[in-house]
Amino acid sequence: MRPALLATLLAPLALAACTGTPVSPAQDPTGLWTGALVTDQGKCPTERNSSLQISQKNITFTPADGSLILHGTRGTDPNKFHAELVTQDANHKPLPMVFNALPVGLAIGGTYGTPSCRAHITLTRAHY
């Protein structure tokens, strides 16, 4: 068989192997997830996408891919994702930030909140 013909016949198979079938976050949530916060109330960081990183034991959520990172540990329910960060406001009072999420189909749906922001987000698996 000619090499050009062989390459033409094998190319679709190679592409299929690379793309694979999408894996539900309920089956395997590990990896990087991205999405845009949508403000429900107040003023939220919506200028850039946010990132959720899930490993076997830890969770990090970075609102608007900024400098503040919320941390969490995966609990007994592998499909509940919780991360938080408590800083101080200008008056030295606690400023809690909380992220909670669950798998929804092939995405992860979550909420983000601070004293001045309530938002929801749909995160999809990042493709490299």
CATH number where 40 lies:
2.40.128
The total of structural domains in the chain comes to 1
Residue 87 falls inside a structural domain: yes
Task: Per-residue pLDDT tens, the chain, 128 aa: give them.
Answer: 455 443 444 444 344 345 567 889 999 999 999 999 999 999 999 999 999 999 999 999 999 999 999 999 998 998 999 999 999 989 999 999 999 999 999 999 999 999 999 999 999 999 76
Residue 3 falls inside a structural domain: no
Residue 75 falls inside a structural domain: yes
Residue 118 falls inside a structural domain: yes
| Residue 112 DSSP code | E
Residue 114 falls inside a structural domain: yes
Residue 2 falls inside a structural domain: no
Domain that holds residue 32: 23-125
